[in-house]
């Protein structure tokens, strides 16, 4: 999607993947300077480990504790995180309003942090359910620095009381993965989201229960749009990026 947007704007850039072994991450980051790259995206498992290797971290990424975008300028590397904004923009363009809503995030990792940072400031109440209780409680304590309406959920069985439920775990990347929660707890007045960018079994089962559903494809698109703007200072043609993304994933 980035290459399609570069071409549409007549920008002489190219977006390509590099597979970097964790032991060589520091060398790869120095390579950004040495090769005079404009910037890079960072994905798992490097989003957290890369932070001490950068010159600057913007406030949002520092709070989230993970970087997904690096901008190189005059040899200075600055880390950003566009995942949370990407998720919120995907909700907005889908006509989903989270104000005065009770929202449950299943998961307490980096993805939950990224979206929780924004959701906590918008929703009526935000609940975090994590497999590791200590990690969920640590996330809640961090989110309380930006909002007071955040709590951990010790038992996921009252899932029917939430307006929106978001799967922020990797469960669903494979079709034989267990579901993040029992979909028998869901009902037709709920919105169910999955940050995985395709229709997962969790979303299909939720749809059978009458729930409205949203996958992570919009989040993937918009985090890329915001990264593009950081690198180039230009606004890409979002529809060109959307089509390129759809053509790649389909």
Task: Report the residue count for the chain.
Answer: 250
The pLDDT of residue 159: 85
The pLDDT of residue 45: 86
201 and 126 in one domain?
yes
The pLDDT of residue 157: 81
The Cα 68–Cα 81 span in angstroms is 5
160 and 110 in one domain?
yes
201 and 157 in one domain?
yes
177 and 158 in one domain?
yes
132 and 152 in one domain?
yes
CATH of the domain at 188: 3.40.50.720
The pLDDT of residue 158: 81
Residues with catalytic function? 47
The pLDDT of residue 85: 97
- Is 60 exposed, middle or buried (CB count within 10 Å of its CB: 0-12, 13-18, 19+)? middle
Q: Is the distance from CB of 83 to CB of 214 less than 8 angstroms?
A: no
The pLDDT of residue 180: 92
The Cα 63–Cα 81 span in angstroms is 10
How many domains does the chain contain in total?
2
DSSP states of 50-118 as a string?
TGGGSSEE-HHHHHHT--SEEEEETTEEEEE--HHHHHHHHHHHTT---BT-EEEEE--SHHHHHHHHH
106 and 64 in one domain?
no
The Cα 226–Cα 61 span in angstroms is 14
The pLDDT of residue 151: 95
The pLDDT of residue 200: 94
119 and 28 in one domain?
no
132 and 105 in one domain?
yes
Q: What is the three-state SS of 187-229?
A: CCCCEEEECCCCCCHHHHHHHHCCCEEECCHHHHHHHHHHHHH
Closest CA to 160 of 140, 175, 145, 181: 181
204 and 164 in one domain?
yes
The pLDDT of residue 9: 98
Phi, psi dihedrals of residue 151, rounded to the nearest 5°: -145, 160
Closest CA to 77 of 48, 55, 59, 60: 55
CATH of the domain at 232: 3.40.50.10860
230 and 182 in one domain?
no
Q: Where in the sequence is the domain holding 222, given as residue range(s)?
A: 2-81+218-249
Closest CA to 57 of 31, 82, 85, 81: 81
The pLDDT of residue 97: 94
77 and 18 in one domain?
yes
Query: pLDDT 10s digit of each residue in the chain, 250 long?
Result: 999 999 999 999 999 999 999 999 999 999 999 999 999 999 888 999 999 999 999 999 999 999 999 999 998 999 999 999 999 999 999 999 999 999 999 999 889 999 999 999 999 999 999 988 899 999 999 999 998 899 999 888 888 899 999 999 988 988 889 999 999 999 999 999 999 999 999 999 999 999 999 999 999 999 999 999 999 999 999 999 999 999 998 7
The pLDDT of residue 118: 95
101 and 211 in one domain?
yes
The Cα 245–Cα 216 span in angstroms is 12
């Amino acid at each position: 999607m980035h290459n399609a947007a570069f071409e549409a704007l007549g920008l002489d850039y190219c977006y390509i993947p590099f597979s970097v072994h964790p032991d060589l991450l520091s060398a790869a980051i120095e390579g950004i300077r040495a090769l005079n790259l404009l910037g890079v995206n960072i994905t798992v498992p490097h989003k957290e480990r890369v932070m001490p290797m950068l010159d600057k971290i913007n406030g949002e990424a520092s709070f989230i504790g993970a970087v997904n975008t690096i901008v190189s300028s005059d040899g200075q590397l600055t880390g950003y995180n566009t995942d949370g904004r990407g998720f919120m923009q995907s909700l907005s363009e889908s006509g989903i309003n989270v104000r005065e809503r009770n929202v449950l995030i299943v998961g307490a990792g980096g993805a939950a942090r990224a979206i929780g940072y924004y959701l906590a400031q918008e929703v009526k109440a935000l609940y975090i359910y994590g497999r590791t209780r200590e990690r969920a409680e640590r996330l809640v304590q961090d989110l309380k620095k930006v909002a007071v309406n955040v709590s951990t959920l010790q038992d996921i069985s009252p899932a029917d009381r939430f307006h929106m439920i978001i799967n922020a775990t990797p469960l669903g990347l494979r079709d034989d993965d267990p579901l993040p929660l029992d979909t028998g707890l869901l009902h037709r007045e709920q919105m169910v989201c999955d940050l995985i960018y395709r229709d997962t079994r969790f979303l299909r089962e939720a749809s059978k229960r009458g729930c409205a559903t949203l996958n992570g494809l919009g989040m993937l698109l918009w985090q890329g749009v915001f990264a593009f703007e950081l690198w180039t200072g230009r606004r890409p043609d979002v529809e060109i990026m959307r089509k390129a993304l759809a053509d790649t994933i389909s």
